[in-house]
Structure 1
């Protein structure tokens, strides 16, 4: 994280010049924080005596020339500055002492000391915006856990039972982590976890169960109910801190991945949309030249054909990119209208016949006349274009593609079958994944994004239908679409 406006100020008290120089470099560089430094107790005292409130946190070496017994910790805490101890040695007695004083963290001076310290400081700053709910019927335990988490700069809310916890969650939708005891009067922790999971997924809030009950697989019941973690009492101070922060960091990583994916999809959509105009221009000029020029030889005509065909292929790719962008961003919209489905299929077959003719491939159609139905005709046309273009790509010259449209009692049945090389059984399960390209190569050198069948399946599912494939190696492939049959009046 970085802070560009009013960056927090860190007080660093360290008598090692090399360590101090490294902290003065790394903390501003990686976090954007400002560092004010002192090499001894007296220097630190001068820095904090006038305005201690300006310091967000203090990084403190316990063994200073003029304060060898950790007196610097008392100076910081007594002036209201949260403290992170940075020490080369720590035994159990010292650990208990610094924790009892109320430090926010302690970091060992080992090979990863500076990295761990920078990470801890960044985590403390981020915790300020995070709400944690502690649900515990024991007042002393509730206050203990709350105090520990507040030292880590969390915003802590409390509840004495499951019912009160649900009321807090209703008032405070921004709660990111819930720590709940098991045995509570009224609604227990397991019931609370189940109730929360009815409305909030584990991508929205992390649930951590705690209990002193050591009989039975209680940890399993919590995890099965929807909790993300479990701790048995009594636990160490560091344990509850680590569990809360690790689960919070998981939520943050999920959010970051979602943001990155949304940015990727927006970029994909913008690029694909902006490519349409130049591609249409190339395509239009190529077709214009083909129609207007009468004094060109066969080779020149072939070049214009290649240009026009390449533009057509590029438009198909752009349509695929726009389609997958809409699907993956959750913006695939259907505009159903009263439609003669037989006419839609017939029109798309006619549109694809030119491409098939260039490869000497025939398209045979058997289209049953159907009652009018309510579908998104443009999207169904997109499905047919993808299925037909795939069949043409992978068919050898001289073969025939069959298109069938019929109805059963409950479904409309649409199939597109080719006489191509077929699809390996182990590959059929991956056909409808995005960006999947099969092993078979297009017979005319056509290009592919691997998105067509993913788009087809998404559109069909949005209509409440399904699609599957039947194929044997060397015996072609048949794609079967089922759409719910719901006739409508004009």
Structure 2
């Protein structure tokens, strides 16, 4: 049976109603308000099976000694204490009775309660594995986590844990002790990280061992966090919550990124046809009406053609970005002489370079240049992008130098212009360079910019030799 009701035990009518409205409107959960111990007792007796969480004020007109906590525990209700008195004694007594958490009555109280409830809702269906050779520790930790609406599995050592992971690949978190028979916690963490990334699985290490280096060892082995035994229940729940919320945040960002990439691809695909139509019609009009149009009209048609061509290139970039971010950059590699590919690219740019009065200078060791294994179309896309950028920002009368350099890591292609360079502090490099970076990295290489405002910009990328 799904529990769908929150019980608010609060003697202040205004605070109780504010909480009720916030919970019902923001979270879509029904809320009941009890202003006394007696009213709360009646609701618990009649509706305990339906109560998702109890929010308990400690001081009530007919119960001044925290009796409301014992009442909620007698019905096994997950409970949060809502109080203005948060001294160590009150805290210690409350957590000894297995309450979930405290929320202090301040100006953030209502939003904090809403946030806690949202977290508890998100926990439903999430699995956590507790690994410890001590049965009492497993029971204590499991009990606390189960109260937080989590599905808890347990294992007494690393080997048993790995089997449970095999049967439950949808785990959200593993909490593991260090010293255990069969396989210790550090080895378990290493094995888990071989299968799950930090974005897929949170891992918390824990131990009694008085070894300050152990925390670092766990974190370097792949743990997300560490708990030193003995720990307070409040610390356990807080660390679990922080790590699970971080995991949720990463997954939401990943989902948004995938949605953005899909949307970009759909939008670019839909734009490609009308833009191609504009380009074709402008070309047709230019050819068919050439003798009937004056110079200004012909110039307008030329502008339409050029702008539609530029827009079509931008749409192509958007389609590339969409494919790359969705992991659909499929490379068809073959062996090529790198110098031949570079010369093929430059043949496309010599006309635009001549029109701008820019010299293209090549420094390629054509005879000795080794072969590389690349996707020729994608490789040319990178070279074309770097050369086109250099020509766009270079002044008339300048020189763009294309070099091929051998290095210990492979071959480096560099394009140096004599333009203004990137303004200091800017990170704006455009879609073309973003795409180029992804293509180069997919080939196992790297791409970088060297900025010199006095001498221009050098754009370079490396590719491994076959």
TM-score category, normalised to shorter length:
0.7 to 0.9
Specify the alignment match of 1:442 in structure 2: none
**Aligned partner of 1:304 among 301, 306, 321:** 301
**What are the superposed Cα offsets for residues 213-256 of structure 1, whole Å, 9 maximum, x if unpaired?**
22443222222222222222221110111111111111111111
Is 2:239 the partner of 1:240? no
Contact 1:14 1:40 survives alignment (8 Å): yes
**Residue equivalent to 2:280:** 284
Q: 1:363 to 1:291 in 2, by over 3 A?
A: farther
Q: How many residues align?
A: 462
In the alignment, what sits opposite 2:428? Answer: 436
What is the rounded CA distance, in whole Å, between the counterparts of 2:422 and 2:392 in structure 1? 17
For 1:7 and 1:362, how far apart are their aligned partners in 2?
A: 75
Residue 455 of structure 1 is matched in structure 2 by: 435
Cα distance per residue 1:356-389 (max 9 Å; x no partner): 4553446577995999986434323422431232
Are 2:154 and 1:174 equivalent residues in the alignment? no
Tell me how far apart the structure 2 counterparts of residues 467 and 82 of structure 1 sit (CA, whole Å).
54
Aligned to 2:320: 323
The separation in 2 between residues aligned to 1:211 and 1:252, in whole angstroms, is 26
Q: Secondary structure of the equivalent of 1:315?
A: helix
Q: Residues 346 and 291 of structure 1: is their aligned pair in 2 closer, same or farther, counting only changes over 3 Å?
A: farther
Q: Quote the residue 1:440 is aligned against.
A: none
* 1:27 Cα offset (Å): 0.7
CA contact (8 A) 1:361 1:397 kept: yes
Write the distance in 2 (CA, Å) between the matches of 1:474 and 1:61. Answer: 70
Instruction: Evaluate the alpha carbon distance shift between residue 159 and residue 47 of structure 1 in structure 2; reply closer, same or farther with a 3 A threshold.
Output: same
Closer/same/farther in 2, CA of residues 405 and 185 from structure 1, 3 Å limit: closer
Structure 1 residues 350 and 36, CA gap change in structure 2 (3 angstroms): same
Secondary structure in structure 2 of the residue aligned to 1:50:
helix
C-alpha distance 407-281 of structure 1, shift in aligned 2 (>3 A): farther
- Say which is worse superposed, 256-265 or 395-404, in terms of deviation: 395-404
Tell me the TM-score normalized by structure 1. Answer: 0.82
| Structure 2 counterpart SS, 1:36 | strand
C-alpha distance after superposition, 1:288-344 (max 9, x if no partner): 222222132222222222222222222222222222222233221123468798886
Are the counterparts in 2 of residues 86 and 107 from structure 1 also a CA contact under 8 Å? Answer: yes
1:85 paired residue among 81, 84, 106: 81
2:268 corresponds to: 272
State the superposition RMSD in angstroms. 3.4
Query: Residues 471, 45 of structure 1: CA spacing in aligned structure 2 closer, same or farther, 3 A cutoff?
Result: closer
TM superposition shift of 1:41: 3.0
CA distance in 2, matches of 1:261, 1:155: 29
Cα separation, 2, equivalents of 1:413 and 1:111: 60
User: What whole-Å deviation, never above 9, does each CA across 1:264-306 have from its counterpart, x for those lacking one?
Assistant: 2222222222222222222222222222221322222222222
1:173-226, Cα deviation, whole Å (9 max, x unpaired): 122222222222232222222222222222222222222222443222222222
Higher mean displacement: 158-167 or 362-371 = 362-371
The SS at the match of 2:6 is: strand
Closer/same/farther in 2, CA of residues 278 and 357 from structure 1, 3 Å limit: farther
DSSP-derived class of the 1:15 partner:
coil
Deviations for 1:8-60, whole angstroms, at most 9, x for unmatched residues?
21122222111011111111222121112222233333334334212212222
| Residues 117-168 of structure 1: CA deviation (Å, up to 9, x unaligned) | 2222222222222222211112222212222222222211111122222222
Aligned with residue 127 of structure 2, among 111, 128, 131? 131
The 1:178–1:360 alpha-carbon spacing in structure 2 relative to 1, beyond 3 Å, is same
User: Counterpart in 2 of 1:122?
Assistant: 118
Counterparts of 2:185 and 2:85, CA distance in 1 = 40
Counterparts of 1:89 and 1:470, CA distance in 2 = 60
Equivalences for residues 443-482 of structure 1 within 5 A: 450-465=430-445, 467=447, 473-475=453-455, 479=459
C-alpha spacing 1:139/1:260, structure 2 compared with 1 (3 Å) = same
SS in 1 for 2:328: coil
1:459 positional shift: 1.8
2:12 matched residue in structure 1: 16
Range 64-73 or range 273-282, more displaced: 64-73
Deviates more, 1:341-350 or 1:310-319: 341-350
Match in the other structure for 1:35: 31
Instruction: Say yes or no: does 1:222 pair with 2:218.
Output: yes
Distance 1:197 1:27 in 2: 38
Structure 2, unaligned stretches of length 5 or more? none
Residue aligned with 2:80, SS: strand
Greater mean deviation of Cα atoms: 365-374 or 176-185 = 365-374
3-state secondary structure, aligned to 1:22:
helix
Q: Which residue of structure 1 aligns with residue 57 of structure 2?
A: 61
